[in-house]
Every structure is written in structure tokens, then in C-alpha cells.
Amino acid sequence: MADSEREAQLAQNAALRGEIDELLAVFEQQRRELADAQARLASATVTAWSSDSLIRVTSNSAGVPTEVHVEPEAFKRSTPEKLGRSITEATQAAARLASAEAQRAFGSVEQLGLDIPDLPDLVPGAPSIKDLMHSMFPEPAAAQPDPVPLDEESEDEYYRNRTYLDGR
């Protein structure tokens, strides 16, 4: 092997070593920021109200309700059906807020990795870390439209014939 080839290989190895050192430094910073984000989210809560201001839901960072508060006047101003929709609305709003909070917390970790190559760029066939980060935060489901209420006669028929057991 000629000296020029050896020098070229040494230069190539030095460049690769520099890239790997940079990747390791970024990985270590991401690991620290990820641990910080996880610690912040472990204690984070979000609160949302229903649009009629009768229900308040507090959820943890995973969107799981930890407290549901019903205003005392809800029993005077609402029906069980409307109250159920208000609970659903406030719970979904809290889940969306929790998802947004988690995305904000992990955003700095994701931003840090934009300047470096992804794992499949270095190792063909390896899983993508960037895809993993995107899969951690799926879009929350959209609120479902309110069902059409039955009129009194249809409701009587519904229960009399036990069609609720058929799933209709």
C-alpha cells in the first residue's frame, strides 16, 4: 500500500471518527434532555372545561383523567345526556392539551437531532430514530358528532323492543 493511499485512509478514518464523536455528543445531549422532559411530564397536569362550563377535567401528561369536577348547577341546567356529552368534550379537550404538552416537552429533543444523520443513513436497514419520535405522538382522535336524539315515541319503541341489545 502506498503512502498516499494510507494517508487517504487515515484521513477518512479521522473524518468518520469525528462524525461518530459528534453523533455520540448529540446522543448524550438528547439522552439528558429526554430524561429532563420525562421528569417534567411525570408531574405535569392539564385542565380543560366543557364549552358549557359545567365540567372541568384534569388529566395527567398521558391524557388520563385524574379529576373530574362537576359544577353544582349542572344538575339544574342539564340532562344526563347533555352532561355526558360535556364530560366527553372536556375529557377530549384535556387529552388534546396533554398531547400538546408532551409534544412541547419532547420538541427540544427532536430539534436537536435535525442536524445529524438518522441511523438508517449510517447503517442500512436500521430503524429510524426520527420515525420513532414521530410515532410517539399520534394525532388525537377528532371529536365525534353528537348522535341524533330519539323523539319520545322512538325512544319508547327502542326500549320496549329491546333494540338496544342488538346494537341498533
Quote the pLDDT of residue 3: 86
Whether residue 59 contacts residue 45, with contact meaning beta carbons closer than 8 Å, is answered with yes
Quote the pLDDT of residue 84: 92
Sorted by sequence, the CB contacts under 8 Å of residue 61 that are 6+ apart come out as 41, 42, 44, 45, 46, 98, 101, 102, 105
> Which structural domain range is residue 13 located in?
3-140
Quote the pLDDT of residue 71: 94
Averaged confidence pLDDT in the chain: 79
Instruction: For residue 153, tell me if it sits in a domain.
Output: no
pLDDT tens string 99-119: 888 888 777 666 666 666 776
Instruction: For residue 146, tell me if it sits in a domain.
Output: no
* pLDDT over 70 at 168, yes or no: no
Instruction: For residue 115, tell me if it sits in a domain.
Output: yes
Kindly state the percentage of the chain with pLDDT values over 90: 25
Per-residue pLDDT, averaged over 29-33, amounts to 80
Instruction: For residue 145, tell me if it sits in a domain.
Output: no
Per-residue pLDDT, averaged over 39-68, amounts to 92
Instruction: For residue 20, tell me if it sits in a domain.
Output: yes
Quote the pLDDT of residue 1: 61
Instruction: For residue 161, tell me if it sits in a domain.
Output: no
> Which whole-number Å values give the CA distances from 138 to 2, 44, 63, 132, 135, in the listed order?
55, 19, 13, 11, 6
For the chain, what is the domain count?
1
Quote the pLDDT of residue 66: 94
* pLDDT over 80 at 131, yes or no: no
Instruction: For residue 150, tell me if it sits in a domain.
Output: no
Instruction: For residue 42, tell me if it sits in a domain.
Output: yes
Q: What is the CATH number of the domain that holds 71?
A: 3.30.1310.10
Maximum average pLDDT range among 19-23, 27-31, 79-83: 79-83
